[in-house]
Structure 1
Amino acid sequence: MDDQQVHYLDHAATTPMVSAAVEVMTAHLRDVGNPSSLHASGRHARRVVEESRETIAQALDCRPGEVVFTSGGTESDNLAIKGIFWARRSADARRTRVLTTAIEHHAVLDPVHWLGDDDGAEVELLPVDRSGRLDLDALRATIERDPTSVALVSVMWANNEVGTLQPVTEVVALCRPHGIPVHTDAVQAVGQVPVDFAASGVDALTLTGHKLGGPFGVGALVVRRELDVVALVHGGGQERDIRSGTIDTPAIAAFAAAVELAVKHQAEHAVHLATLRDDLVRRLGEAVPDAHLHGADLGPGRLPGNAHVGFPGCEGDSLLMLLDARGIECSTGSACSAGVAQPSHVLLAMGCDAEAARHSLRFSFGHTSTEDDVDAVVEAIVPVVERARAARRT
């Protein structure tokens, strides 16, 4: 087993650090100096942080002052959801409604539901179609029912399970006439599809390092300076007094290097991922005729590295473990809820029944993926599916 080749197809959960990020982070690990200190070492650390902020801002087309560093996607989502809600409600007590989709990552859904259960928010989950795309007519009707009561809208850029891209610019167009701020979780999107903060019109955008070749434990919330956000963490007043805490200079430098590289090579990277993904989907369909794709059709409406495939008559967890025994690593959905014996909330919202929402695997490609990974899955899938179906029958 130790000599078995591993075929890693779970890049949506985390992707390996790119060499540039490793080198930058390593170079700064021995540096001394708190970026908030005024002496020379502190000023040097501050310069590294601010240059990293400028690098990320240039890559995402935002102002450097709009980049607020955090510990990652979950903190950024919580800061956006809670911080914007609290600020908006404080300014106008009528603003109690929070609108989001039924297919969001739990880093959005859980803080939204917490606000509903513990802080007086009125939560409304917007429906999606069978491909996992937001129903814009439903959003329009929900807003127009009482626009003055909407505190914010949060719609992810791309779904982490089925890869469907969301109509973010259309969401902004519906919200802007009513002055409603829009947040988007773009954790899965940056580096795979074009992401332009200014052009999108959103007010807040979440990204994280470990999804695009950077380190764990660092991310950012890009938030317009004109938008008030109440802090979750109070202390030294770092990051515009929105996110206090000593700044992690080495991780931020590595994060910036990874973002710059991911955005620079996004177009060619997307072609590479889509080529591998399309080949896998085609060959899986030939090997297992009743296998089927969940989410948007292959093409521009879907993340290029995502293949979410259903295998009727199987349990996704069984398929995952059988493939894992053969050195093939994938997932049944979000890594943050893996191991939880319940159907995918994303697939249920898309109209799948409970059984169909449990028989799927997510194969996600990244910068280390090759055709060998596709070959390995195709070679293993028939005996694995047969064994998983046999286990269901016994």
Structure 2
Amino acid sequence: MQRHARGPRGWLAVLLALLCLLVAPPLAAQDLGAAARLTGPLSLEAGWRSLTLSVPLSQPVPWRTRLLSDPPRAVVDFRTLDWAGMDPAEVPRVGAVTALRTGDAGGGWSRLVIELDRPMGFAEAGMATDPESGAARLTLSLTPMSDTAFAAQASALAATDGAPSADVLRATADRPPLGQRPTIVVLDPGHGGVDPGAIHEGVTEAEITLTFARELAEALRRTGRYTVVLTRDNDSFLSLEGRITVAHGAQADLFLSIHADALEDGHAVGATLYTLAEGATDAAAAALAERHDRDDMLGGGVDLTGTDDTVAGVLMALARAETQPATDRLARALVEAIRSAEIRMHRHPWQQAAFSVLKSPSVPSALLEIGFLSSETDRTRLRDRRWRTQMEQALVAGLDAWVEGEVAQQALRRR
């Protein structure tokens, strides 16, 4: 849901934008004990129109990417990484690289800066972890970009610090409200790549969620009322930070993360909707949230379980207080639509948990377990194309109802 800049959310956007210039909150990381170290030299390889960086590490660490201008620079921050023994001056310069340096980024983060002779943005970024040795390798690919595309990606990456960037806030404040344009939906198929999620009889959660998200995206697009963006459209790993980045970059009206998890006791059956809360509804919800965040860490992503900066926490609390009512209305609309379609839901269909992927402060966000791979009944449904179609149609109806409700809310506020 969006408002004009002169409404309450517009003033909140201005406040967030101004304070974000003063505060650079570090992303919180899980405690990995001793700092990771380099296990070999950094490598830079230049292709015809590309640049690839490879960083070998003793263990996975939280990481994040940034783009800076004047001059154009690609930045990679690492949490708890010891650069001892690495001299940037000894790394051969190739392609568009004019300088390479490392330094302290504050808050326990260290920084690698790649200075470039032209604007280049991140085409791919991922960390692979060896399950046997625990060693990891971060690989980044850069490609040339126009000044406009470079600025847009820089803004989207900056949004992962918690609050949306000033550019995103201005863009969302100026665009037409809901009901006068297509609703922008970001669908997030859970897991992927080195993180398959739950596995049963060779079927992975990552495969199930990607199939369902693709089908749901097509159902929404066919209505003509929605613009849909997928956080991933193949079997690739994407960090929690990266998923939130997609939502901010797309200027999403809502974010829906899709999962099909497994619980050890195998008793959970039926679709379940989760929204963000610091405390979980029950022990199972807490266990799911903890595992999702742990899986992201093992895959090499960044866990957004909080921030070390008090002011940043206040900013995010303000933004979520503004977004939470719309999130609650989204949850109610989806639950009612699924029930109206007579689709089996969990005995507690709407629960709350501290899923990090739901922590975007400015986008109404929910996580939907379409079923549980630990349940034989749910596994049968998830493999049934007719059942998936029924669920997808119910979700379209639920989103339609939510948009209609948000339009009505906007009309009330204008009175």
Same fold (TM over 0.5): no
Larger RCO, structures 1/2 (Cα 8 Å, 6+ apart): 1
Question: TM-score, with normalisation over the residues of structure 2?
Answer: 0.28
Q: Give the TM-score taking structure 1 as reference length.
A: 0.29
